[in-house]
Structure 1
Amino acid sequence: MSWFTGTGREFVRRTRAMAGKGDLAVHRLGPPAIRIHGDRALAELPLVIEWRIDVDGVEADLASACRSKYRARRDPDGAWRIAGLAAAGLVIAPIALYRKGCSM
């Protein structure tokens, strides 16, 4: 992920803290592509995250496009487990600007 490094438990705690402050984002997920090689697999998931920020009184909608890459491995009991997660190709771009107090 572009904003976080740590454990799953810490990710949940920090995500809840952001949501409690009103920092919300829309996540749009594409279809995953999965490649399996023996007991290892790579799943790639295209996604776009959209959120609104305030920059000196101007609201801006931003979009972050990237591809999440999940590495997985099959345990001896046959269960697949996520072994790692990384984001690739991160791009952040403004998609709309709004002057506060103005109707659009």
Structure 2
Amino acid sequence: MKNISMALAALFAFLAASAVTRADASREGIEDMMAKAEIAALVNNWGFYRDQERWGELSSVFHPGGTISISWYDGPHEGFVEASKMIAANGSALLKHQFGVPSIRVEGTRAVSEVNVVIMVRSSAPAGTVDTTSHARFLDLLERRDGSWKIQKRVAVYEKDRIDPVDMPALPAAVFEGLDEFPKELRFLAASMKKAGIELSKTVVLDKSPEAATLYEEGDAWLGGA
């Protein structure tokens, strides 16, 4: 009887420990899902705030000291917001970001998000109106501070782009002049930027480049607490 009692006690202790483990796992799973949902909303809202020129809200998705690196800008997010205001005030281009579903990894209070983005720019050229479409990915390093997830660093990785006529039957030959000086992943975007007086950033990251590989390594290190 003593052996049976000891066996039953051990079984009950095991079941109790298993229940606690399952509860902890369930709680961690819920917290992970909640974090990913909040981050996905943050990533999506960035596009709405930028396209609708909601500058205060756009700035709010970054932590103080947060940075952003894209085709034409590399630096503190505050500077990006101010420069975006100037571009919007010029009124020469209509900008639209279209996001996919982000892939998100969470480790404690840190996360890495990667999302496909299509960047559509309608601008006026001497021969007529054109649409420039860029396919890229935004890779974000995020952190939860004071109970809220925000972006610490955002980098765009460019894959390919194209240009299409809007109010003319075909693009003039002048559109294709000088494209060889730019990377093929964003040559039409870079050429359009140059015509508008905006220089291509020297730190722009291209798909499958050494810089892109380094960026992914930085994401892994960020999750590891580095």
TM range (shorter): 0.7 to 0.9
Between Structure 1 and Structure 2, the one with more helix by share is 2
Partner of 1:7: 76
Distance 1:51 1:78, change over 3 A: closer
Between Structure 1 and Structure 2, the one with more strand by share is 1
> Between Structure 1 and Structure 2, whose CA radius of gyration is higher?
2
* Structure 1 stretches lacking a partner, 5+ long: none
- 1:69, 1:63 → 2: CA distance? 19
Higher relative contact order (CA 8 A, sep 6+): 1
TM-score by length of 1: 0.76
* Structure 2 stretches lacking a partner, 5+ long: 1-69, 170-226
1:63 corresponds to which letter in structure 2?
A: T
- Contact 1:2/1:90, CA 8 A, preserved across alignment: no
Partner of 2:99: 29
Within-5 A mapping of 1:65-80: 65-75=135-145, 79-80=148-149
Structure 1 runs of 4+ with >6 Å offset = none
- 1:92, 1:99 → 2: CA distance? 20
- 2:135, 2:106 → 1: CA distance? 25
Q: What secondary structure does 2:84 align onto?
A: helix
Partner residue of 2:110 out of 40, 61, 68: 40
Aligned residues: 98
Partner of 1:20: 89
- Contact 2:134/2:158, CA 8 A, preserved across alignment: no
Q: Displacement, 1:56? A: 3.5
- 2:149, 2:89 → 1: CA distance? 33
TM-score by length of 2: 0.39
- 1:18, 1:74 → 2: CA distance? 31
